[in-house]
Structure 1
Amino acid sequence: MDGYELINRIRESERQTGAHLPVIAVTANAMADDIKKCLDSGMDDYISKSAHLDDLQLKLEAWLK
């Protein structure tokens, strides 16, 4: 299962429960088309590899307020 199939399953589950789990894609592909594909598939945000720990922390803090 790849991340796109996983996000589909997560979002389908959310439609049944009404909950929302923030999902941040971690990808080596950081071209505009790749980022758009992640966001269009239902992911909330993305971070490209090799991200620094500080970058990841900022993303997590933003989504887990």
Structure 2
Amino acid sequence: MSDTGGHDPDSNELSPEQRLEPQNTRLINAGIVTIHDMETLRACVAYENANKQRVQILRRLEDRASEIRAQDD
């Protein structure tokens, strides 16, 4: 296994649209929890703000940002 901290390196290859557009909320949640860096998270927030502006999704992204920051500490 490569030095990726146990994360799937291909998960960062998903676009914000791929992460946030599935009709199934479980897939959206999976797309959010597989975000492991702030750059990807910011891209998803920007995508959501520019398109659907769903408060619940933005809250999940905010929670994920807090988790990522806590891991970096």
* TM-score, shorter chain, exceeding 0.5: no
TM-score by length of 1: 0.30
Report the structure, 1 or 2, having the larger helix content: 2
TM-score by length of 2: 0.29
Higher RCO (C-alpha 8 Å, min separation 6): 1
